[in-house]
Amino acid sequence: CEGMEHLESKKLLHRDLAGRNILVSEDTVAKVSDFGLAKVSSTATDNSKLPVKWTAPEALKNKKFSAQSDVWSYGVLLWEIFSYGKQPYPKIVRFSHEVRERVDQGYRMEPPDECPPDVYSIMTSCWEPDKACF
């Protein structure tokens, strides 16, 4: 979270925050990595191929990104961490467009097994429309 706060303070949108892009040092310090989709802007647009399961619905729909869309991805990252690295949206595994449709209709992932309620509450607050929690 501190890494994402830092990026936001620099007006940098990561746009690909996911477990695969977090490195952990020998002294267990997590570092945000892979800035291949990053943009410098308060709102950025483009047509890059996006990681649907980690991207906020409004970013998928309008191709507009903001700190709030990175917050959505942060909630999915938390879900990945507390599920011990499972693929997000495990009940919708066939096609990315199905994930997109279900999320647009209000679907949100259930908490991972043994996830503390307060952590799941953070996840769901990240998945609220236009929510920023950094």
Q: Is 16 a catalytic residue?
A: yes
Residues 6+ apart with CB under 8 A from 128: none
Two structure tokens written together for 37 = 């989709």
Q: Look at strands 12-13 and 30-32 and give their pairing.
A: unpaired
Catalytic residue chosen out of the listed positions 16, 46, 104, 113: 16
Q: Active-site positions?
A: 16
